[in-house]
Amino acid sequence: MRITDTSDLWWKNAVVYCLDIQKFMDWDGDGTGDFAGLAQRIDHLADLGVTCLWLMPFYPTADRDDGYDITDFYGVDPRLGTHGDVVEIIRTARDRGMRVIADLVVNHTSDKHPWFKAARSSKDDPYRDYYVWRSDPPPKDTKKDVVFPDKEDSIWELDEKTGEWYLHRFYKHQPDLNVANPQVRDEIAKVMGFWMELGLSGFRVDAVPFLLDGAGANPRDDLVDPHEYLRSLRSFMNRRSGDAILLGEVNLPYEQAVEFLGGSNGDELTMIFDFPGMQAMYLALARGDAAPIVNALKARPPLPRDAQWATFVRNHDELTLDKLTDDERAEVFAAFGPDEDMQVFGRGLRRRLPPMLDGDPRRVRMVYSLLFSLPGTPTLFYGEEIGMGENLAVEGRLAVRTPMQWNAGPNGGFSTAPASRLTAPVVEGGFAPEHVNVADQRRDPDSMLTFMGLLVRRYRECPELGWATVDVLDQPHAHVLAHRSSWGDGSLVAVHNLAAEPVTVPLHLPDLDGDVRFVDLLEDDMTTPCGEDGSVEIALPGYGYRWLRVVRPGSRRLV
């Protein structure tokens, strides 16, 4: 193993942290988070060990979809700051060892975008073909194709002025861009080039399958394969910056998802989120049975050397369960979101993990230990490091996009503005700021924040967790997951108990012998010897977990 490889392909063992600037820290007291506030809290992220900061949209917006309805891809929302503030954040983050990526939301625009205003002004306008239009009436039932079925009942909307319908797979105020138009593809490349010139290290690409859907559909264009367009974006990006990344939102089954990495060539997306694995994890938690996770790990296709899975417990959208069967989804709903108000779109949950687990710190910590031990790049959503909850009084997916909780004071220390002026209300009840906040946890050695910092450090010290394929270990307990990751001279065994009852887990590792010992990376001074035949017994409390470094005689690695 060459440790230098971990800086070359830095994303293979990065720690990604996603935040919404509007909800993170308000420095000017107007009730909305801003770049100045983020700058003042950048050391919190550095202390946690974050290596890649992912910024949700900060562009000018009509603000009907929490910033995802963009009116200028090259601008900065004036409520948040200026281009100069963006550069200062990138520079300050880099000084703390963090790269910065941002959302690339180019499958649609706001209907207030100048392109769409021009496009709907006349059928002959030069921007008309920037969007997808049809002159004949669309099919009556396209609700199955709508991303938000509780808000829209068709993917086509009639534009009264021109008498034609435009395509929108999301909200009707977000018309889809026509990527079959080479001019649109050039604009997207210019957007990428612009922000990379200011220092971004790549992008999280929104809704990638929708973005590619129309590519290759223009008979007058030489683009035949939609994936050829994705390859061209990757090539363009890496010509501008060799180590920049495209982190793609591709919520598809494994076999289809890996196609967006470029197959064995690895020349499309750099990373994709492990949606099937995340959904299997929640099914396993609901059942107290590790089998869904085992099946997902075994079903993971091999990846190109330069590609990676992004693993996660929670993201900024609904906690989607759309890849589970109806019965499986019902199991997860019953366990973690039994009230209809906790569910959204009939396919997901609008909750954060700690409330779903009734605030049980054993279960919450076990889940995050599991996340960081799985091969891949862990991705955190702001507030997870302190165990934040959701606010179900807020509509839809925004229930989990509440202000960051910095202290126990008014507004959780997020803003000095009156509560009525906040961009979103803070969490109330048992997970309110007076109970869950950064300030209280910073100096508490037993806090969630301290524990998460330990997980980040140990993960970064174990590059095999980002580079290795996983080996699920045989053992007799259905509620236990035991797996091993080995890469070069590094090998780590992780064991997790999904049940409340304590258990002793027998493992047999035939390539090891009595000269080997297992050093626990999460508990001080815990060492377990290995039997002559490679056997070892691991004792776990209820919802317990252990990370065991395989230490051979003469090993020079620090443990």
In a domain, 173, yes or no: no
Could you tell me the pLDDT band of residue 6, with boundaries at 50, 70 and 90? confident
216 falls in which pLDDT band (50, 70, 90)? low
**Same domain for 441 and 394?**
yes
Does this model's pTM top 0.85? My answer is yes
Residue 510 belongs to a domain with what CATH number?
2.60.40.1180
Query: Considering the domain boundaries, does residue 558 fall inside one?
Result: no
User: Within its chain, how far is the Cα of 315 from the centroid?
Assistant: 5
Do the Cβ atoms of 503 and 540 come closer than 8 Å?
yes
Q: Which domain holds residue 491?
A: 470-551
Q: Which domain CATH number covers 30?
A: 3.20.20.80
Determine phi and psi for 345, rounding to 5 degrees. 60, 10
Q: How confident is the model at residue 217 (pLDDT cuts 50, 70, 90)?
A: low
Asked whether the predicted pLDDT for residue 75 surpasses 70, the reply is: yes
Q: Is residue 351 within 8 Å of 319, Cβ to Cβ? A: yes
One domain, residues 243 and 272? yes
Number of domains in the chain: 3
The per-residue pLDDT for range 289-333, each reduced to its tens digit, is 999 999 999 999 999 989 999 999 999 999 999 999 999 999 999
> What kind and span of H or E run contains 438?
helix 438-442
Judgement on whether residues 523 and 426 belong to the same structural domain of the protein: no
Q: Which two tokens stand for residue 513?
A: 């012998």
Tell which of 429, 460, 491 closes a domain: 460
Burial degree of 476 (CB within 10 A; 0-12, 13-18, 19+): exposed
Sheet of strand 470-472: strand arrangement = 470-472, 480-487, 490-497, 545-551, 517-520, 527-529
SS3 annotation, 443-470: CCCCCHHHHHHHHHHHHHCCCHHHHCCE
The rounded distance, in Å, linking the Cα atoms of 305 and 86 is 32
Cα angle 538, 555, 456 (rounded to 5 degrees) comes to 60
Q: What is the pLDDT of residues 469-515, one digit of tens each?
A: 899 999 999 999 999 999 988 999 999 999 999 999 999 999 998 78
Are 83 and 72 in contact by the 8 Å Cβ rule? The answer is no
Span 33-66, pLDDT tens digits? 999 999 999 999 999 999 999 999 999 999 999 9
Sheet holding 343-344, edge to edge: 319-320, 348-349, 343-344
Which two structure tokens, joined as six digits, stand for 326?
């109806």
User: Would you say residue 556 lies in a domain?
Assistant: no
Is 407 found in the same domain as 375? yes
Element holding 105 (H helix, E strand)? none
Residues annotated as catalytic (active site), given as ranges: 206, 249
Strand partners, 481: 496
153 three-state secondary structure? coil
For 415, counting Cβ atoms within 10 Å of its Cβ (0-12 exposed, 13-18 middle, 19+ buried), the class is: buried
**Residue 386: inside a domain, yes or no?**
yes
The CA distances from residue 112 to 70, 162, 269, 392, in Å, are 8, 17, 30, 30
Q: Is residue 97 part of a domain?
A: yes
Could you tell me if 351 and 382 lie in one domain? yes
